[in-house]
Amino acid sequence: MRLCGDIKAKNIQISNSELKFMIRVGPAGSDGKGNLEGVQRVARMGLDCMEVEFVYGVRMRPEDAGKIGALAAEKGVMLSVHAPYYINLASDETEKIAASKKRIIDACERAHALGAQNVVFHAGFYQKRSAEETYCRVRDAIEEIQDYILKKKWKVDLCPETTGKASQFGSMEEIENLMKETGCGITVDFSHLYARQQGKIDYAKLIKNLPKRFHAHFSGIEYGEKGEKKHVVTTRKFFEPLARQLVKRKLDVTLISESPQPYKDGIMMKKVLHDLLRSKRSS
């Protein structure tokens, strides 16, 4: 049985050599088909990357990670990893911090076996602490995990993610400061920032202040007074303002589609980038 997304993709396969810059686009997860099939589908659809989802726990066997990584390398699909949701590096309970570190480390171990460099995670919550104290706890925990990664000689980067609610640690400023102080990578979830800032977002200014290499997420987003409610289908109209700014700079970006239809919307996002570049060339 052929999926409609696969049929559509054959008409709009786009290579990064055409784009002339390295903005890789791909889905979050395998859409329930399993990671081996997910990699195959990404390659078949002309997409470039895939985020392996460990959001409910790291259950993948190391030998399976090796097989998936080998297939991804063969197909030219860049992999990243999303660590479990159950992480709070700023908790008041030492047991919760230890468990959070272990979940991140387990995700890093599988990422290394997969050949996936970027390991995404939500770092924690403010709760009753000040933003400064929360930041210091998260920073110290990241440095400890980095020391462990170094000892293991794993080729992975910790990439804390911007978050969609003001109650969660993960403003753009906080994530940028972590990058500067610890040398970690970052995950810029543009939709989370859109929700966190109540739709008030200046993509030009934001991208201007980012490094030329970073990991990113995007999707449609529903939000309220407290910020993010849920991810929704991505429309071309919603993506175009960000896409216009992305094509203005020479970037090395992996852009993961986190919508409820990650493959279909990933294809749309890559086509938008392609169309904007073609328009730029002809102007």
Q: What is the pLDDT of residues 22-41, one digit of tens each?
A: 899 999 999 999 999 999 99
For residues 187-191, average pLDDT: 98
Percent of the chain with pLDDT over 90: 87
At 235, the pLDDT band (50, 70, 90 cuts) reads very high
pLDDT of residue 19: 45
| CA atoms of 178 and 127, how far apart (whole Å) | 19
For residues 50-63, average pLDDT: 96
For residues 127-151, average pLDDT: 97
Token code pair at residue 57: 């726990």
For residues 51-68, average pLDDT: 96
For residues 134-161, average pLDDT: 98
pLDDT of residue 129: 92
pLDDT of residue 96: 96
* Cβ atoms within 10 Å of 272's Cβ, excluding its own: 21
Note the pTM of the prediction, 2 decimals: 0.91
Mean pLDDT of all residues in the chain? 92
At 159, the pLDDT band (50, 70, 90 cuts) reads very high
At 156, the pLDDT band (50, 70, 90 cuts) reads very high
Report the amino acid identity of residue 159. Answer: C
The answer on pLDDT for 5 being more than 90 is: no
Geometric angle at alpha carbon 210, from 206 and 215, rounded to 5°: 105
pLDDT of residue 17: 46
For residues 257-279, average pLDDT: 94
| CA atoms of 219 and 266, how far apart (whole Å) | 9
At 280, the pLDDT band (50, 70, 90 cuts) reads confident
Q: Quick check: 97 and 88 in contact, CB under 8 A?
A: yes
Nearest to residue 126, comparing CAs of 162, 90, 80, 159? Answer: 90
**Ordered DSSP codes for 150-196:** HHHT---EEEEB--SBTTBS--HHHHHHHHHHH----EEEHHHHHHH
Query: How large is the angle between the packed helices 172-182 and 131-152, nearest 10 degrees?
Result: 40
Range 158-181 burial, b when 16+ CB lie within 10 A, else e: bbbbbbbbbebbbbbebbbebbee
pLDDT of residue 283: 63
Q: Quick check: 151 and 177 in contact, CB under 8 A?
A: no
Cα within 13 Å of Cα(255), Cβ side: 27
Token code pair at residue 73: 């390398």
| CA atoms of 121 and 104, how far apart (whole Å) | 8
Least reliable range by pLDDT among 19-33, 94-108, 131-145: 19-33
The answer on pLDDT for 270 being more than 70 is: yes
State the SS3 of 31-77.
CCCCHHHHHHHHHHCCCCEEEEECCCCCCCCHHHHHHHHHHHHHHCC
96: helix, coil or strand? Answer: helix
At 249, the pLDDT band (50, 70, 90 cuts) reads confident
Indicate the domain borders of the chain: 20-282
| CA atoms of 110 and 145, how far apart (whole Å) | 15
**What is the domain class of 20-282 according to CATH?**
alpha beta
pLDDT of residue 21: 55
